[in-house]
Amino acid sequence: MDFRFQAGELTAERVPDTEAERFQPLLDGCEDFHQLTYGRPALPDQARLIPSERPPGLVSGQGHLLALKTATGEVVGLLEALRDFPTPGEWYIGILLLAPQVRGQGRGQAVLHAYEALVRASGGTRLRLAVLEQNEAAHRFWTRMGFQPENWVGPVEQGLKRHRLLRMTKALG
C-alpha cells in the first residue's frame, strides 16, 4: 500500500520497520515528549524499538511508520499506526509526533486530515488512539480534531512512569 501523501508543506512517506532507526534524531530532539511519557530522555535505540512495541498477532504490513518530511527532506515528524486494528475498518494511531520547531503551526492538523483521507480511501471507517492523562495539550488537539472520549485504561507503565490513558475514537464519514 502506498502511504505517500502531502500535508501542507510536509510530505509523508513510508519507512520500512527495518529502517525505524532513521527516526532516532527526531526522538532525541523531542525530549519534552519523552520526559512526559517515559520520565527520561529517549533511549539510544528508542526509534528501532517502535515496531516491537506493537500489539502481538499483527500480520505483515498491518503496522506502518511514516516519516513527515520538509521540502528539503528533513524528517520533522513521525506517524505510526495500525490498519484494521483492533477490528477491520478501524485504524489505530500509535504516535503522531512533530519536532518542537514545527509544532503549533497547523501541521499536526494538516497531517491528520491528509491521513484521514488516506484511511477513508483505503476503506477505513474509524480512527482510534490513546492519550496520556497528563498530556493536556494532546487532549485539546485530539478533541479539536473531532475525537471523542471512549474510556480510561490503566494504569500502564511506560519507562519510569505510570499513566492512565484515555482511549478516543473518531468515525470517518
**Domain spans of the chain?**
5-171
What average pLDDT score do residues 18-36 get? 96
5-171: CATH, from 3.40.50.300, 3.40.630.30, 3.50.50.60, 3.40.1010.10: 3.40.630.30
- Measured CA to CA, the distance from residue 149 to residue 131 in angstroms comes to 10
Q: List, for residues 109-141, the tens digit of each pLDDT value.
A: 999 999 999 999 999 999 999 999 999 999 999
The upper half-sphere exposure of residue 100, i.e. CA atoms within 13 Å in the direction of its Cβ, equals: 9
Q: Please, which pLDDT band fits residue 2 given cuts at 50, 70 and 90?
A: confident
Contact 103, 44 (CB under 8 A): no
- Measured CA to CA, the distance from residue 49 to residue 64 in angstroms comes to 13
Provide φ and ψ at 120, rounded to 5°: -60, -45
Q: List, for residues 31-89, the tens digit of each pLDDT value.
A: 999 999 999 999 999 999 999 999 999 998 899 999 999 999 999 999 999 999 999 99
